[in-house]
């Protein structure tokens, strides 16, 4: 592949490349660009084995005309991981405009986040800010406490939403070992951290996730398993989960 050729040309052994790729599901290669596969693999090959990895780079201008920053996180999958990560982004006041999260075959999380600063601009060539981002995220990934406390993000009046629709849906596809949660709501800082905390509070594990910002709304798709590794099939659990999500998001949007 093109990514493999680029990695070998950069001096990385083919055997080590294949060892990393052997753990990635087909969805990873279908969903990620050649540039991202090269970047992710390069960072994993350079990183200390067994340690969480956080890497920051600017998105190519042709991929996001106004500029954006990409953050790659690779770490062992664990309870509350998404909640801790999104809470850390919120403390950093970084707005997530797109995200892809995949669990590898050896139970590691590969998360790629597209983020912007509060003023809508990318992080840019700011070494101190990049160091702050990496340090904060690494601390969140290594904390042992299961408690997740999203930051109290102060919003201006124009970011308060009233009577905006929030839609949620949970589906189970025969033959799939997970449930699919879809959430569509107004985009606002802290929404993902709020969702992450609800998912963590319900002892659910994210297998895969896609977060997409569409104008002023955000569309989230999560593949979830319960604490026993099964889909969510109890109708009472499903009803309570969706009701809690809608309630917490409404509170968040109302400010």
Domain co-membership, 94 together with 169: no
Tell me, yes or no, whether 153 lies in a domain: no
| Confidence bin at 156 (pLDDT 50/70/90) | very low
Amino acid 246: pLDDT: 94
Strand-strand pairing, 95-103 and 205-214? antiparallel
Mean pLDDT rounded to a whole number for the chain: 88
Instruction: Check whether 162 has a pLDDT greater than 60.
Output: no
* Same-domain status, 123 and 235: no
Query: Does residue 152 lie in a domain region?
Result: no
Sole residue written with tokens 């920053």: 69
- The CATH number given to whatever domain includes residue 40 is 3.30.70.260
| Mean pLDDT to the nearest integer, 66-81 | 90
Domain that holds residue 216: 160-255
Q: What is the mean pLDDT of residues 58-79?
A: 82
- Does residue 250 share a domain with residue 206? yes
111 and 166 part of one domain:
no
Q: How many CB atoms are closer than 10 A to CB 5?
A: 11
pLDDT per residue over 206-237, tens digit each?
999 999 988 788 899 999 999 999 999 999 99
| Residue 148: predicted pLDDT | 53
Do 25 and 113 belong together in one domain?
yes
| Degrees to nearest 5, angle at CA 186 with 185 and 191 | 80
| Antiparallel, parallel or unpaired: β 217-225 and 205-214 | antiparallel
In a domain, 88, yes or no: yes
Q: Residues 6 or more apart from 187 whose CB is under 8 A from it?
A: 213, 215, 216, 217, 218
Residue 249, pLDDT > 80, answer yes
* Residues 93 and 184 both lie in one domain: no
Domain count within the chain: 2
Helix (H) or strand (E) holding 178: none
Domain end, chosen from 146, 172, 196, is at 146
Beta strands in 90-146 (DSSP E): 95-103, 108-116
Domain boundary among the residues 85, 115, 146 is at 146
Task: Provide the CA 5 distance to its chain's centre, in angstroms.
Answer: 28
Which of 89, 119, 146 terminates a domain? The answer is 146
My answer on whether 30 and 136 are in the same domain is: yes
Average pLDDT over residues 182-195: 89
Same structural domain for residues 89 and 202?
A: no
Whether residues 176 and 237 share a domain: the answer is: yes
29 and 67 in a single domain? The answer is: yes
Q: Are residues 63 and 141 in the same domain?
A: yes
Q: Which two tokens stand for residue 24?
A: 């990635």
| Domain assignment of residue 154, yes or no | no
pLDDT score for 147: 57
Tell me if 209 sits within 8 A of 180, measured CB to CB. Answer: no
In this structure, the answer to whether residues 10 and 104 fall within a common structural domain is yes
> Domain for residue 200, yes or no?
yes
């Amino acid at each position: 592949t093109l990514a493999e050729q680029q990695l070998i040309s950069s001096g990385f052994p083919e055997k080590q490349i294949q060892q990393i790729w052997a753990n990635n599901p087909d969805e990873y290669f279908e969903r990620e660009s050649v540039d991202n596969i090269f970047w992710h693999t390069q960072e994993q090959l350079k990183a200390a084995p067994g340690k969480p990895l956080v890497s920051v780079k600017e998105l190519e201008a042709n991929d996001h005309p106004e500029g954006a920053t990409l953050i790659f996180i690779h770490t062992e999958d664990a309870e509350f991981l998404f909640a801790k990560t999104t809470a850390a982004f919120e403390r950093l006041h970084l707005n997530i405009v797109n995200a892809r999260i995949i669990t590898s075959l050896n139970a590691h999380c590969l998360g790629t986040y597209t983020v912007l600063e509060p003023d809508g601009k990318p992080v840019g060539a700011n070494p101190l800010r990049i160091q702050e981002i990496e340090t904060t995220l690494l601390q969140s990934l290594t904390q042992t406490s299961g408690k997740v406390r999203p930051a109290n993000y102060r919003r201006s009046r124009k970011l308060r939403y009233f009577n905006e629709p929030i839609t949620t849906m949970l589906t189970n596809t025969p033959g799939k070992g997970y449930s699919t949660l879809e959430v569509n709501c107004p985009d606002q800082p802290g929404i993902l951290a709020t969702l992450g905390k609800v998912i963590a509070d319900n002892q659910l594990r994210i297998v895969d996730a896609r977060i997409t910002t569409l104008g002023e709304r955000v569309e989230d798709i999560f593949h979830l398993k319960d604490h026993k590794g099964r889909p969510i099939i109890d109708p009472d659990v499903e009803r309570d989960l969706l009701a809690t999500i809608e309630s917490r998001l409404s509170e968040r949007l109302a400010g």
